[in-house]
Copies of this chain bind each other. A is one copy, B any other.
Amino acid sequence: MFDPFQLKSLTGRGIMTSSKRKPATKLAGYFLIIMLLSLAIAVPGQIGTRKELKVPDILGFVTLKCDFHMHTVFSDGLVWPEVRVEEMWCEGYDAFSITDHVEYHPFSEDVSTDLNRSYELAKPDAEALGLLLIRGAEITRMKPPGHFNTLFLSDANLLNVEDFKEAMRAAHDQGAFIIWNHPGWPDDKEEWYPIHTELYEEGLLQGIEVVNGDTYYPSAHRWALEKKLTMFGNSDIHVPTAMEYDIAAGRHKPVTLVFAKERTAEAIKEALLARRTVVWSIDNLIGEEQYLRPIFDAAVEILTGEVELHGLHHSPIQIRNTCDVPFKLELVEGDDSLRVPAQFILYPDRTIRLSVRAAGAELSGEKEVEIRYRVTNLLIAPNEGMQVAFKLRVKFLSSTN
């Protein structure tokens, strides 16, 4: 008979629940201790935990956390497709794409080269968990032109043709959205070649990876702004995630934030075409100010809007950050009457206390003060942090009389 606590068949509905199959883990016995110790760990199977990636919804859109680039054993990745589903769910993603190489199959001696298999194997599990899985594939060439992800395919096998442009057109004909991957690799040059102009002009190049893995491409960032390409931050993960990222300790892979009209694959496609994305890489958000500003405004709250300053004594200001992105601030322009910190960090899910004081002991009276900071990790262009202003009502109580 079945143990109600038996772990779910990891390989999903496609596989008969054979009595010969051992569940992946049996927690009986040491159950409670394990549970106590492993809070943050993704235990796959019947009982699992998901840590949401907290970034606020903005401008009436739902903020979907996506990764559109990863591999499995069906090209040169080192895991079965089901592992990618489990990882995406546990790590807090909403949507993803498995993008095995169309032409590169180092394991072909042992593994099928059918390009639709990774999607087909992952689909039932993704659906059961409420994740949006988008069929994709990576067209892979030396540079130029390089590697390209094609999303929203109907049949990935049709892309397996010798001529590069024909492969791109085969994707386009299926209504694919096409992204230039890691534009500084594999030739270690961030260069926009003539072939990229050709692709761009033919409508075969709509998006670009500004971030791949933990590598940021400033040129790609600039091209995206100039040429109106959609910005992506994708993991391109080949190994099990937890081998590269200490997820249990709160790290995360790159995320493409998509501001979608609803939680559907179609809405994601509409948002990608409308360029409503922001890249979240390590601690950085990279994107247009029209999206970064409402994120900051929705996440950050000044709890101490008014402050009384006695002579030269310091008074605390409390600011809360409710999202999972830290904000790193550097002073741009203060106020002559007030001493404020030159820099500070609004940590994720924390209230921060700063101290301010009057510039002189003789100051008195009440005024509204505006202090401008640069948020160095909200990049609206390469090396350009978005500026924000804090307004404070200050009452100076002179200590000189």
Contacts and interface: CB of A to CB of B under 8 A. Distances in A.
A212 B26 contact: yes
Interface in A64-114: 73-74, 76-80, 82-83, 86-87, 89-90, 101, 103-104, 106-107, 109-112, 114
B79 A314 contact: no
A40 B206 CA distance: 39
A158 interface: no
A142 B80 CA distance: 26
Contact of A345 (B26, B35, B312): B35
Interface stretch (A48-56, A148-156, A388-396): A48-56
A21 B104 contact: yes
Given A8-B316, A9-B314, A341 B46 contact: yes
Interface stretch (A213-221, A259-267, A272-280): A213-221
Number of copies of this chain in the oligomer? 4
A197 interface: no
Interface stretch (A172-180, A223-231, A240-248): A240-248
A193 interface: no
Nearest to A41: B246
A238 interface: yes
B25 A213 contact: yes
A86 B44 contact: no
A251 interface: yes
Contacts of A353: 46-50, 89, 129
- SS class, residues of chain A in contact with chain B: loop
Interface residues of A, number: 129
Interface of A: 2-5, 7-11, 13, 15-22, 24-31, 33-52, 73-74, 76-80, 82-83, 86-87, 89-90, 101, 103-104, 106-107, 109-112, 114, 117, 121, 128-130, 140-142, 147, 182, 185-186, 188, 212-216, 236-240, 242-249, 251, 282, 303-304, 310, 312-316, 318, 331, 339-345, 347-355, 357
